[in-house]
Amino acid sequence: MKYIITRIIQVIPILFAITFLSFAMMRLAGSDVVEQKMLNTGQVISENQLIAAKQELGLDRPFLVQYFSWLGKLLHGDMGTSYVSGMNVFDTFISKLPATILLTISSIVFTVIISIPLGISSAVYQNKFTDYVIRFFSFIGNSLPNFFVSLVLMYFLAIKLRWLPIICREVNLNNIIMPTITLGIAMSAKYIRQVRATVLDELSKDYVIGAKARGVKFSTILWNSVIRQSLVTIITLLALSIGSLLGGTAIVESIFMWDGVGKMAVDAISMRDYPIIQAYVMWMAIIYVMVNLVTDLSYRFLDPRIRLGDAQS
């Protein structure tokens, strides 16, 4: 418990550094925020109005003053309004979140269903035909950029076979299939390798040889010990993937018009919509901290040696 608290305290400076960096980064490019806003709305304005608009947004004040006033508002949960839509940033962000969470869940489930059985059989039938076939496909999957997979899927499933709509205007079951497969292919390819390596590692341990020597059936060893042990590692890896998926997948969400936070970020970046970008960066920072904490804690929980080492020191 004490450890958890120290960990959280350690994380606070990193969070502040991230807020500062994101703020600084956006301001460095941000000499034209107001011009950009005018451009987006298509208005033509005079020099005076321009200055007034800059004053209204507080852009004429010194950099640090701007930062602290922004940070202060942020701590109160106020992220300002979007330069483009004029809507509350926090509300906009929350409205995009369910789509991303849904896509995260579906692609993780897809990946688990594909990669765990294939990875295990690849390890069990090591250097046999099955292993080669599985490894071949995982290799191919690893070498495909996801925008290429998306477009190929679109071409065959939506255009040639007309099974699915091309563009996902709304969040529903039909529309989630293609983004899920796209993300799932890349992740499964990676995880099959990981699962295979973990299971192989486990299979070569002494207790497996011992159990074999005592005449325990191989399937019993596999199911009762090896897979159970391997899952520990795999679940930790999955936690990391969930983190990165929750950050939204910029390309896949944009291609399929899936209305999640990744697409929101890409749109905001191309429109220079700073408040939205900053909200997004804060979201990433939170995910990063959570994922780090979870992996750290899970290692300590799963591996008693780390806990012991900590107690001694």
Partner 1 sequence: MKKKKLIVFAFLALLIVLVAIFAKWLCPYDPYEQDLSASYQAPSFIHVMGTDAYGRDMFSRVIIGGQVSILATLLLVGIISISGTCIGIISGFFGGTVDMIVMRISDLCLAFPGLVFALAVAAILGGGVWNAVVALALISWPKYSRVARGLTLSIKDSTYVAAARLAGDNSFQLIGRHILPNIIGPILVTAMLDIGTMMMELAGLSFLGLGAQPPVAEWGSMMSNGRSMLQTYPWVVLSPGIAIFISVVIFNLFGDTVRDAIDPKSNRTK
- Residues in contact with partner 1 by the rule CB under 8 A: 14, 17-18, 21, 25-26, 28-29, 126-127, 139-140, 142-148, 151-152, 154-155, 159, 200, 204, 244, 247-251, 254-255, 262, 265-266, 269-270, 272, 277, 280-281, 284-285, 288
Q: How many Å separate Cα 47 from the centre of its chain?
A: 43
Minimum CB distance to partner 1, residue 215 (Å): 25
Minimum CB distance to partner 1, residue 74 (Å): 17
CB nearer partner 1, residue 45 or residue 152: 152
* DSSP class of 88: B
CB nearer partner 1, residue 171 or residue 269: 269
Residue at token pair 């007309």: 162
CB nearer partner 1, residue 55 or residue 143: 143
> Got the DSSP string for 195-228?
HHHHHHHHHTSHHHHHHHHTT--HHHHIIIIIHH
- What number of CA atoms fall less than 13 Å from residue 276's CA on the CB side? 27
Helix axes of 274-302 and 227-246: crossing angle, nearest 10 degrees: 170
Minimum CB distance to partner 1, residue 154 (Å): 6
Minimum CB distance to partner 1, residue 288 (Å): 4
- What number of CA atoms fall less than 13 Å from residue 44's CA on the CB side? 0
CB nearer partner 1, residue 114 or residue 262: 262
CB nearer partner 1, residue 103 or residue 277: 277
CB nearer partner 1, residue 34 or residue 154: 154
Structure tokens at 189: 């390819």
Minimum CB distance to partner 1, residue 304 (Å): 24
Residue partners of 113: CB distance under 8 A and separation at least 6: none
Minimum CB distance to partner 1, residue 298 (Å): 18
Task: Output the CA–CA distances (angstroms, integers) from residue 1 to 6, 9, 266, 293, 306, in the order listed.
Answer: 9, 13, 39, 13, 15
Which amino acid, residue 96?
Answer: K
Task: Output the CA–CA distances (angstroms, integers) from residue 133 to 88, 121, 136, in the order listed.
Answer: 51, 11, 5
